[in-house]
Amino acid sequence: MKAQLSKAVGGPETLVLEELPDPVPGKGEVLVKVAACAINYPDALIIRDMYQVKPPRPFAPGSEISGTIEALGEGVEGWEIGDRILAGTGFGGLQEKLALSADKIFRVPDSVSLPEASALLMTYGTTIHGLKDRGQIKAGDTMLVLGAAGGVGLSAVELGKAYGARVIAAVSSEEKAEACRKAGADDVVIYPRAPFDKDTSKQLASAFKDAVGPNGADIVYDIVGGDYSEPALRAIAWEGRFLVVGFPAGIAKMPLNLTLLKSCDIRGVFWGAFTMREPKKNAENIAELFQLWEDGKISPLVSETYPLERAGDAIAKLESRGAIGKLVVTM
């Protein structure tokens, strides 16, 4: 099988396409013929040794896949060869075959294409956990989404609307704004590129406040971090929930006096740890996502596909924040 391997610390240009022996499923595992691997921000971090997980080299990045079961390991029940599945892998997705624990895979409905299915788990899985379990979203809430045109951002727009919230999308361009409007955003704020001086930060805070309205945002869904976080916190509602999801623009330094003035919470959203600590609850969330998909309330946007040979280009585009929706590598 072919695999894109990280053999040295560095950016996507350091990945090497090589032939490897096919993996053999062990006890309780299935062998998956990978159809598609969606690209996520952790893929850019893990090859630079900047992610929480640091696998021994060589390894293939790629944290979520879809495909078909090609072989069953000893003791696997409830699955058959040919079943269509998706899975979060952490890493290893950018290879043509992968052995996975059978208790970590999810069945893909026949109505969903495998490339689309590969784009569901990390983005919508993160967001349904963030909005329901950490944000306690309810109908009538106002939600501000930073970085709203990426895969996680669009999942927040769609799920926010599905749960009855008023959603304000914050993005860096009109092209991205239009993608958010198509996903159902009620209003859009187009922000400048950081870094911000003090005046620009105040102007952005005012723009956020104007968009969310006089009562503020009940939920801020922050996928961006950096200089964008504080202006958003200043637009939060009394007892609002500020959800920390990611920080491609850098880790923000927040003035904690604002949490006192607004009696608000800053809450972390670490979906990966949640899946390990509460697998049953995570499985219930994923089942709910498929139902929302079948009901037409969510629809993962795969904006571009790449062959395995160009997987590094997909990671580079995501890393430069040029992606709208999800970028997917097909095998």
Domain boundaries, the chain: 2-120+300-330, 123-272
Task: Tell me the pLDDT tens digit for each residue of 178-219.
Answer: 999 999 999 999 999 999 999 999 999 999 999 999 999 999
Task: Tell me the pLDDT tens digit for each residue of 139-152.
Answer: 999 999 999 998 89
Determine the number of helices (DSSP H) and then strands (DSSP E) in the chain: 11, 15
- pTM for this prediction: 0.87
The hierarchical CATH code for the domain 123-272 is 3.90.180.10
Closest CA to 184 of 171, 173, 172, 168: 168
Task: Provide the 8-state DSSP code for 97.
Answer: E
Q: Give residue 148's pLDDT.
A: 96
Q: Give residue 85's pLDDT.
A: 97
For 249, the enclosing helix (H) or strand (E) is none
**Rounded-to-integer distance, Cα 180 and Cα 148, Å:** 7
* 8 A C-beta contact, residue 197 and residue 119: no
Q: Give the CA count within 13 Å in the CB-facing half-sphere of 314.
A: 28
Q: Give residue 277's pLDDT.
A: 95
* 8 A C-beta contact, residue 215 and residue 237: yes
**Rounded-to-integer distance, Cα 314 and Cα 304, Å:** 9
**Rounded-to-integer distance, Cα 156 and Cα 100, Å:** 28
Same fold, 2-120+300-330 and 123-272: yes
Query: Which of the residue ranges 111-120, 159-168, 319-328 has the most confident prediction, judged by mean pLDDT?
Result: 159-168
Instruction: Give the position of tokens 């727009």.
Output: 157
* 8 A C-beta contact, residue 63 and residue 45: no
Q: Give residue 321's pLDDT.
A: 79
Q: Give residue 111's pLDDT.
A: 85
Please report how the helices 151-162 and 174-183 are oriented relative to each other, as an axis angle in degrees rounded to 10.
Answer: 30
**Rounded-to-integer distance, Cα 256 and Cα 266, Å:** 10
269-285 mean pLDDT: 93
Q: Give residue 199's pLDDT.
A: 97
Report residue 44 as tokens: 């850019």
Closest CA to 114 of 300, 324, 317, 282: 300
Report residue 5 as tokens: 């391997």
Q: Give residue 324's pLDDT.
A: 85
Task: Tell me the pLDDT tens digit for each residue of 238-250.
Answer: 999 999 999 989 9
Sorted by sequence, the CB contacts under 8 Å of residue 12 that are 6+ apart come out as 44, 47, 311, 312, 313, 315, 316, 319
Q: What Å distances lie between residue 204 and 82, 153, 195, 197, CA to CA?
A: 51, 19, 12, 11
Closest CA to 21 of 95, 102, 104: 95
The hierarchical CATH code for the domain 2-120+300-330 is 3.90.180.10
